[in-house]
Chains A and B, each alone.
Chain A
């Protein structure tokens, strides 16, 4: 069937009171941007609903996929538009719609009509009854169930009539940009892109930071992170990716601190840099892909010690209670998995000790960090002043 229109369902936005207008408008803007390359579409808000109308040929699956990346949408209903709303024609069109969508299937249905046009000769109840009768006449295997129907056939009568009954699930969540901005630490692994996705889903705009350590990590490792940023940006909208050259800092830690504490101290510095960058970029939170116990630097003790490097911002860790497989499932769903598993070294594994500490003590780590004083400040400044920016979109 050729659908000229889609009805967009959204749930949580509806509860946001006076902000509702803002939320809807943000979502519409995202929809327009995503649909632009796919054809000529109009996205409009009317009577508390959002409609997408097509004014050109388009590929149905592409449109569903594009709308499926927009947080805030819980359902996409393909709508048949009927120009001639005279009742006999409307009833015929509904019957032909049902035939095309369901054939003569054994199923129960209910007709739910709404009319915005109060001058329409039939009331909503009358439309329900009379269209229901027309369907029963046309399909002998169908029956009516007004309490628990298999299929709900919706009819909206205004200057034209809309018919719809099917809903393709959307991603849910809140429109990106309605909940501030966060800085995600993107490593190139499986977890951090998933974390970015999950927080973006709650309406948070995303910026990202990647720590590059040439020659210990390669150009390909960097490209992989950019590729991951591009994939996540399909959902989150454009991501500004900050690439920090971390090599000299890493080597300074290597030279001055106990080897088994290297990863912890390195991560503390990354957190510190990420927070500084986040504050400069007007972010209100830091996002990481950590999950308790996954590696030595993600034990509760390690997370406590690493987190202590943060001064004010909250750190959001949406994967914290997920098992690896659960994280993988999400990464497969959002399309980052294949890229994440490409085998390029990241800077966390370059010098990782054979037996890194798993239960670091904060005082001990702070003591070890004393050794960096006077040796690292300049390197830190240089790294922060020399950031490469890539725009993922």
Chain B
């Protein structure tokens, strides 16, 4: 049996999306910037994708810029935002539990002379709002937090964060990395009070290499890629039409009968957590996101359990990458102050609508078989 429980890493593409993309590569392969009919046709696919996404996150079509994925969206928002605002100040706030594409971008800006502050999170990974309040200054130009944490599934109080930011500093931008929220939660960046919002296609059964950044109408940031002036010069480069159209269609599918899809995923997650924590010394660190379960198997190194599961056809992620030579615990698990024995023994199981309860039962059975052996053989 093959069980794919790594849907926070990437997802299988919807068959409809695949078909559409093939058509766009075989037939409607025009360059949207071309003046002829093939160009117009290609452009229409992009318009359609804009429409499909904007109607579900309730924004204007012109507020979306298509990118190569979540990483580029985060880079564009943070670097582009910081450059546009640098005359107003050099202070930026983020958290210690961000995805590498935010964390490393912040490190880059720090080397370029920006000052980065890190707001505390509590033991569930939620941003400490009081601490945030105390960090915001007159020269704060940008705040960036994620919506749903990719390792433990914490849902951040975006609306509360936005309110605090805009209350204390009217001109500071608020960027949200919404990659793990898009397709899983129902939201509107505008209603949440967010200025910049990153989304990705391949986490919602769309293609890899697809993503978008919501830029609120009236908010100005600098582009980070220059060239032919596509997408109103905010993101030059010939649009990746198959990826954009694929992402649009995937968004449209996942947000149709959305609550049913999410209920199903959530019931799989809840059932898995409820049953797996019945095993001895197995702990749940998961937040409220419907698709992510973070589980610690004390006494087993996460990497070893991952490979043992893989051997039985079950694919998951390690919450931390540990090797004998270079212990490198996950930032997220460290930030929520997991005890050391849990730090190196945590796995992430992440679910999609294509999973089912049989897969959960099979996985539980395998884990039950593996745990005693794996716990017996440890480094002394």
Q: Within the assembled complex, what's the spacing in Å between the Cα atoms of A340 and B303?
A: 20
B232 lies within 8 A of chain A by Cβ: no
Cβ–Cβ contact B324 & A215, under 8 A: no
Complex partner residue of A350 from B305, B309, B379, CB under 8 angstroms: B379
Q: How large is the interface on A (under 10, 10 to 19, 20 to 34, 35 or more residues)?
A: 10 to 19
A254 CB-CB contact with B under 8 Å: yes
List chain B residues, Cβ under 8 A from A350.
324, 379
A215-B311, A216-B307 known; A343 vs B326 contact (CB < 8 Å): yes
Q: How far is the CA of A84 from the CA of B15 in the complex (A)?
A: 69
Residue of B nearest to A354 (CB): B380
Bound-state Cα–Cα, A353 to B324, Å = 11
Whether A352 is near chain B, meaning CB under 8 Å from some CB there, is yes
Is the pair B324, A345 in contact by a Cβ cutoff of 8 Å? yes
Chain A residues contacting B304 (CB-CB under 8 Å) are 215-216
Of B305, B310, B323, the contact of A345 (CB 8 Å cutoff): B323
Which residue of B303, B374, B377 contacts A218 across the interface (Cβ within 8 Å)?
B303
Residue interface mask A335-351, B partner, CB < 8 A = 1: 00000000111000111
Residue B308, interface by CB 8 Å: yes
Tell me the bound Cα distance from A349 to B327 in angstroms: 13
B-facing mask of A203-218, CB < 8 A → 1, else 0? 0000000000011111
- Residues of chain A with a CB closer than 8 A to B374's CB: 215
B134 at the interface (CB under 8 A from A): no
| Interface presence of A219 (CB below 8 A) | yes
Beta-carbon nearest neighbor of A247 in chain B: B377
Contact A351 B323 (CB under 8 A): no
| B380 A345 Cβ-Cβ under 8 A | no
Does A259 belong to the interface (CB within 8 Å)? yes
Q: Smallest CB-CB separation from A346: which chain B residue?
A: B324
**Could you say which residues of chain A place their CB within 8 Å of the CB of B326?**
343
In whole angstroms, what is the CA distance A345 to B380 when docked? 17
**Residues of the A chain whose Cβ atoms lie less than 8 Å from the Cβ of B257:** none
For chain B, residues 366 to 380, give those with C-beta under 8 angstroms from any C-beta of chain A: 374, 377-380
The reply to whether B323 and A344 contact each other, CB–CB distance below 8 Å, is yes
B377: chain A residues within 8 A (beta carbon) = 216, 251, 254, 351
Contact A345 B303 (CB under 8 A): yes
Contact A343 B325 (CB under 8 A): yes
Least CB distance, B129 to chain A, in whole angstroms: 38
Report Cα–Cα, A251/B307, bound state, in Å: 16
With both chains docked as a complex, state the minimum distance between the C-beta of A83 and any C-beta of chain B, in angstroms: 51
Q: How many A-B residue pairs have CB under 8 A?
A: 44
Q: Which chain B residues border A219 with CB–CB below 8 Å?
A: 307, 310
- Rounded to whole angstroms, the CA-CA distance of A351 and B304 in the bound complex is 12
Closest to A344 in B: B323
Instruction: Assess whether B323 is in contact with A215, with CB atoms less than 8 Å apart.
Output: no
Q: A215 is contacted by which of B308, B378, B379 (Cβ under 8 Å)?
A: B308
- A216, B304: Cα distance in complex, Å: 5
Residues of B contacting A351 in the complex (Cβ-Cβ under 8 angstroms): 377-380
Check A214/B380 contact, CB under 8 A, given A344-B323, A350-B324: no
Least Cβ–Cβ distance between A349 and chain B, in angstroms: 4
Q: Which of A345, A352, A354 has the most CB of B within 10 A?
A: A345
CB distance from A266 to the nearest CB of B (A): 13
Residue of B nearest to A260 (CB): B380
CB distance from B136 to the nearest CB of A (A): 39
Residues of B within 8 A of A217 (CB): 307
Interface centre among B309, B323, B325, B379 (most CB of A within 10 A): B379
Report chain A residues within 8 Å CB of B303: 218, 345
Q: Report chain B residues within 8 Å CB of A259.
A: 380
B316 → chain A closest CB, angstroms: 12
Residue numbers in A under 8 Å from B308 (CB-CB):
214-215
Q: In the complex, are the beta carbons of A352 and B311 less than 8 A apart?
A: no
How far, in angstroms, from A215 to B380 measured CA to CA in the complex? 18
Cα of A216 to Cα of B302 in the assembled complex, Å: 10
Residues of A close to B324: CB separation below 8 A:
345, 349-350, 352
Interchain CA distance A160-B307 in the complex, whole Å: 65
* Chain A residue at minimum C-beta to C-beta distance from B370: A215
Q: With CB as the reference atom, state the residue of chain B lying closest to A251.
A: B377
**Given A215-B304, A218-B303, A353-B380, A343 contacting B323 (CB threshold 8 A):** yes
**Chain A hits for B323, CB < 8 A:** 343-345
- Complex CA gap A214/B374 in Å reads 12
- With contacts A351-B379, A352-B379, A353-B380 taken as known, whether A215 is within 8 angstroms of B305 at the C-beta atoms is yes
Q: How far is the CB of B282 from chain A (nearest CB, A)?
A: 18
Please report the C-alpha to C-alpha distance between residue A191 and residue B326 in the assembled complex, in whole angstroms: 20
A215–B325 CB distance below 8 A: no
Residues of A within 8 A of B380 (CB): 259, 351, 353-354
What separation, in Å, do the CA atoms of A353 and B378 have in the docked complex? 10
Chain B contacts for A215, CB-based, 8 A: 304-311, 374
In the docked arrangement, what's the CA distance between A219 and B377, Å? 20
Task: Name B310-343 residues within 8 Å CB distance of A.
Answer: 310-311, 323-326
Most buried by B among A215, A219, A350, A352: A215
- Listed from nearest, the 3 A-B pairs whose CB atoms lie closest are A215-B307, A215-B308, A349-B324
A-B residue pairs in contact (CB < 8 Å), sample of 11: A214-B307, A215-B304, A215-B305, A216-B377, A217-B307, A218-B303, A219-B310, A343-B323, A350-B379, A352-B379, A353-B379
User: Which residues of B does A touch, CB under 8 Å?
Assistant: 303-311, 323-326, 374, 377-380
Q: A215-B307, A352-B379, A353-B380 are in contact. List 9 more A-B contacts (CB 8 A).
A: A214-B308, A215-B304, A215-B308, A219-B310, A251-B377, A350-B324, A351-B380, A352-B324, A354-B380
